Structure 1
Amino acid sequence: MFRYLIVGFFVGYVIAYPEGAPEGACGNLAPQHGAPVQQNPGFTIAYSQPNNGVYTVTLNAPANKPFKGFIIQAFDSRDGRTPVGQFAAPNGSQAKIICNGSGATHTNSNPLPGVQLQWKGTPGTKVYFKATVVVEYHEIYGDIVSAEFTA
């Protein structure tokens, strides 16, 4: 019986969060894997000019680093901590909305070369997007930051 409990513990640990980051990852964008977050090797966040106030936000991976997990959030540039705006996941985007709408995460652990989302903020607010990606369970990259802009 004791052996089965140990195996069950390790299986749960390795599976991690294949259906998205937990709500506890909001704000600090830490995936809670217990592994150190490494410097960004070339992931990017881009956004388009708004269409009726809605921006298209794209998180892209370098060619050799598709990611299996991500969390992205929009923050007010004035303090760098206050989440702002509302994300929406287009149909088929492999993303779901978390963090009371101000963030998004993956819906499965299939490798992605990038993901597109929609975001709407309060006009006049200075904003930037920030993300963390998981390439493998212990290969995590953070501080992926977009350019600042005024919504």
Structure 2
Amino acid sequence: MLPKFIVGLILCWGVQSFPDGAPIDTCVKNRANQPNHGQHRTQPLSSLPYRVAASALLYGPNTPVTVTIEGSEPFKGFFIQARSVENDNWIGAWEPAPNTTVHPECASITHGDPEYKTRATLLWRAPPDAHGKVYFTGTVLKNYGTFWSNLVAEAPQDPRQLQLLG
């Protein structure tokens, strides 16, 4: 009887998701950037009610780039990775922010609490010895069953709009 009870507890815990953010294995699983939320699947990006925007596309050594998530509806969570445009590798590091969890192993940041949010402002820093182009990709969760994955943050394309602070 005790083993069945323990299995039941584990299953219930799994169903409750990850209120402290996405686990590190989110970086490397088969469905990259997508939460393991049972039978729930990503919504079409055309229905995304949130704006995910980066302040820059180009970076130099130690360049800071701000990534903002906001929308007309509150959201529960997010998982964002920084990737090199040139080779798609994880790149740079996120600055820790209140109520976030950073996964430096894969240049990602996730929510750190189960509360609803209306805005998240995240700061990414380029490597100290590199320059190039970066893009930010990931998932925003409205709630456990409603999320949008494989999104790519908007970024200025006109060189006059780029915020190079390096």
TM-score by length of 1: 0.80
8 A contact 2:17–2:37 mirrored in 1: yes
Tell me the equivalent position of 1:75.
83
Q: Which amino acid aligns with 2:37?
A: H
Q: Deviation of residue 147 (structure 1)? A: 3.4
Provide the alpha-carbon RMSD of the alignment.
Answer: 2.5
* Alignment pair present for 1:124 and 2:128: no
**Which consecutive residues of structure 2, in runs of 5 or more, have no partner in the other structure?**
none
Q: Which amino acid aligns with 2:20?
A: E
* Alignment pair present for 1:58 and 2:68: yes
Output the CA distance in 1 between the equivalents of 2:107 and 2:11.
32
For 1:2-41, list aligned pairs within 5 A. Answer: 4-5=5-6, 7-26=8-27, 28-34=32-38, 35-40=40-45, 41=48
TM-score by length of 2: 0.74
Q: Which one is further off, 27-36 or 3-12?
A: 3-12
Q: Deviation of residue 5 (structure 1)? A: 4.5
Output the CA distance in 1 between the equivalents of 2:103 and 2:81.
9
**Which consecutive residues of structure 1, in runs of 5 or more, have no partner in the other structure?**
none
8 A contact 1:78–1:126 mirrored in 2: yes
Q: Which has the larger radius of gyration?
A: 2
Percent identical pairs in the alignment equals 26
Q: Deviation of residue 73 (structure 1)? A: 0.5
* Alignment pair present for 1:45 and 2:45: no
Aligned residues: 145
Output the CA distance in 1 between the equivalents of 2:143 and 2:113.
13
Secondary structure in structure 2 of the residue aligned to 1:38: coil
Output the CA distance in 2 between the equivalents of 1:88 and 1:135.
24
